[in-house]
A and B are shown apart, each in its own frame.
Chain A
């Protein structure tokens, strides 16, 4: 399409839309970002925090791939923690409380300052297709504007035909106070897409001055901050605490007594909600034996009165919410500023997407974020980034950047979506990643930066920084392999490092493999190492400690890759293949897996079907 208004159009300025539009503009494309409200770019709809277990890994992956989320949270965090410090390095992850208002402002500024990126306030209601109705050519907005472009990335979040519920009050909205995007769902259905309904909820925001914090436990952050972005070594940010309080039997009684007023239990909401993020109504119903539920009281921003009550999302009537909140220690006199609510919205069944996140039906139309059935900022961000990169690859006629399950959580996420689909809002979990020992948060750059550079997005500086790090870690390992515990070490550090005497003559590498031996111990014996980069040192230490496990995982990965590398041609004709069950045939035709490995993960496809595929793909190949 020549003469188009733009190279690319991104619909929606949420976490997916920001990454998609920035990536496209940075890759050299004139990109329009159409979003309903410019003031809402990068808004954190729900909890004021970024990261967490597996999600923190995703943020670092986004950063390694040249995305923005890590940088934004580094500049707006007001508390930092590394979670799961004691449960093994593979599953440790960073989380930060964000100043929501600062985060949004920074996001908007970044978008505004990006050359070739053109933000525009409007609501997209329809698509423009070519005459064969197989190719995207642009969008039509609520105000009747037509904008043309050869690629469109759709990131509508919770807004597509969104409805908000509080008790029996219902309104067409995507976030409290923001209208829904109505029309697009109908257009997509008309184009033959299959859409479903999902539901999620959010708790009340209450006034800080009405809370009695003395009745709550305080939860401070870590002293040491490790930036999310690999571009920064250290950052200095304020650290404000969160608080913990609990519901009790009185709270539960009020909830139980008013259950009939819940839109969820009254049958008004048809969409499926996430089991891992249940509303307080769900918790009370499903776990009647628990006499309390935990609530985290989190600041929405440094200068804001609003406090977020994490763990108690509800769509009961406002008066009921107020009543049960006031049974909670510290919240006796609480003033609600925004009530909790549930939102129900349209999502695109992600089985209709290929692993590049382009729809299989309409060439040039990509979809990312909550629209694809996920939930969470990080999940949205990584999809947006990859959709943006792949929209660019599509325009360049290059193969898409598809990350494997063994190289990124983002790869696991997208593979799960496009291979298995989802019936509830999909959230990432550590346990979804079978190769997680190799998906540590500290190795995201080693895994991904080069790939993004090759795609043209990541900067040369980032690659240089990465190479420096790789060399640095190798040097440290070299030293640890060569250096042995000597008499002088024992003399100088023997008192502070227990058991050192027994290790006389051992290499430092061997020492590092002792479970209790820490990097701190190492620094006591070899203070010169404190001059090297602490993160490199920690990483070298984990690599050594986990060598055996990592080797085993690497073997599993090699095995896995063999099947992933057996590609199925895009034009492969399943019709008339003998020996594949009809049920599997339907699924294979629908999902059109890229590799035999992906095919084998489709639910319902049997080993025998895979065997037949192998035979067929081997035909004509005469390596005998």
Chain B
């Protein structure tokens, strides 16, 4: 596994600025072929390929699968050895919204970049002699956290159950691998019936693969838990969403205005409600718009609402419910995720309909009840705290790699492929899981063989 940590023959990408809401985000890439790869998903491909080191080019990043524009960016091209890492590199300056960053990263990934592991840019930098000793200490820290032991210590703090689960999966693969290796280490006639037929079973492999994939998918849930439950503010324009957002935030961040449709995209912020981390999203009003930029914002609002864990739906008490509100409320499928809010109650409008929480953003009346409803809804989300979840992109990627390898083995098993080739794939799966909870060496495999089988003349 150590060998993988220092793998420097591919191109990597990662967000260089903080993983938080900001006006501008910088995504850094590095690798011998990073400029070619970046150019392949860039509108001004030729310009980028021709660019000298240190040049900045304007253009769009294009999703290589859909062909759609992902974001309007400035791209800085660096040529080896004059870059942070000493390798070829392209840095993208893009819009800072987190979803925007996420789509950028996903486009880069489709374009052949791998998510950089923690400290990997720094690692490449000093492998290429770009870092001096004064920074060694810092690098040391980062890399230390990558060692299996330190890593599993961190894991233990987070979730001992997760390690147990991964170890369980790993053990299942190691057992399969041992059966294969047994046949490669000892000739048929010496096994005396201890292993007959093809050593792998398709259904067992398929079950294993599902279990690994299932854990990989828990990343979504894990993110919710770790990154907070996303809470979307929805409602017609001027319902008072931005004002409520500010109240919950206790600071003026969203732009409050009397003109319809000011919040064009959406704004995100962390809030802490009764100790529970929530990510609050203020969205544009849900209103058909002629203005294309605003229409885009409305479309994104819809996505945010769909992805949110909890939706606060605001209805202006002075205006009362209209058909648009009723449609939204009725169509909303998972009612446990929905909190209807009766806003601006300081104005003394219509009486509170059944199920609505009356709130005034102006006077903060009703705020405690709203906060209670929010935390109840967040905690009420089943399974979040007892289910095993994974907690990083790296782990998810490693699990996906393992699952993919197991799938390949499954396909090979269907064809009864030669075992020497199959063993290579299985080892890959073991190595991937080993990177999460500790390496499995060939000596471990041999131990397993000697423990389980009576072999040797």
Contacts and interface: CB of A to CB of B under 8 A. Distances in A.
Interface string B131-173: 1010011011001101101000000000000000000000000
Interface of A: prevailing SS: mixed
B442 A89 contact: no
A134 interface: no
B190 interface: yes
- Contact-residue bracket for chain A: 35 or more
A431 B185 contact: yes
Contact of A553 (B130, B133, B424): B424
Given A87-B420, A559-B7, A607-B146, A624 B456 contact: no
A84 B82 CA distance: 53
Interface string A587-619: 000000000000010000011101110111011
B445 interface: yes
Contact of B420 (A91, A278, A293): A91
A618 B133 CA distance: 9
A83 interface: yes
B126 A607 contact: no
B3 interface: yes
Contacts of A47: 457
B5 interface: yes
B129 A89 contact: no
B144 A430 contact: no
Interface of B: prevailing SS: helix
B139 A615 contact: yes
A437 B418 CA distance: 12
B385 interface: no
B128 A430 contact: no
Contacts of A556: 3
B321 interface: no
B126 A618 contact: yes
Interface string A272-288: 00111110000100110
Contacts of B455: 276
A562 B139 contact: no
A606 B457 contact: no
Interface hub of B123, B187, B449, B455 (most chain A Cβ within 10 A): B187
B2 interface: yes
B197 to A, nearest CB: 11
Given A579-B140, A606-B147, A618-B126, A87 B418 contact: yes
A39 B199 CA distance: 47
A290 B146 contact: no
A50 to B, nearest CB: 14
A432 interface: yes
Interface in B408-457: 415, 417-421, 423-424, 427, 442-443, 445-446, 449-450, 454-457
A618 B127 contact: yes
Given A52-B187, A624-B129, A624-B130, A310 B420 contact: no
B183 interface: yes
Nearest to B82: A624
A600 B3 contact: yes
B185 A546 contact: no
A35 B427 CA distance: 45
B186 A53 contact: yes
A436 B140 contact: no
A618 B123 CA distance: 12
A311 B443 CA distance: 23
Contacts of B144: 606-608
B187 A53 contact: yes
Interface hub of A287, A429, A556, A607 (most chain B Cβ within 10 A): A607
B192 interface: yes
B452 to A, nearest CB: 10
B395 interface: no
Contacts of A436: 420
Contacts of B146: 607
Given A437-B424, A546-B421, 4 more contacts: A88-B419, A90-B418, A219-B189, A600-B2
8 contacts: A89-B420, A276-B450, A430-B184, A610-B2, A615-B131, A618-B131, A624-B82, A624-B130
Interface of A: 47, 52-54, 83-84, 86-91, 95, 219, 244, 246, 274-278, 283, 286-287, 290, 292-294, 296, 310-311, 420, 429-432, 434, 436-437, 515, 546, 549, 552-553, 555-556, 558-560, 562-563, 578-579, 600, 606-608, 610-612, 614-616, 618-619, 621-624
A-B CB proximity, top 5 nearest: A88-B418, A88-B420, A90-B420, A83-B187, A608-B144
Interface of B: 2-9, 81-82, 86, 123, 126-131, 133, 136-137, 139-140, 143-144, 146-147, 149, 181, 183-190, 192, 415, 417-421, 423-424, 427, 442-443, 445-446, 449-450, 454-457
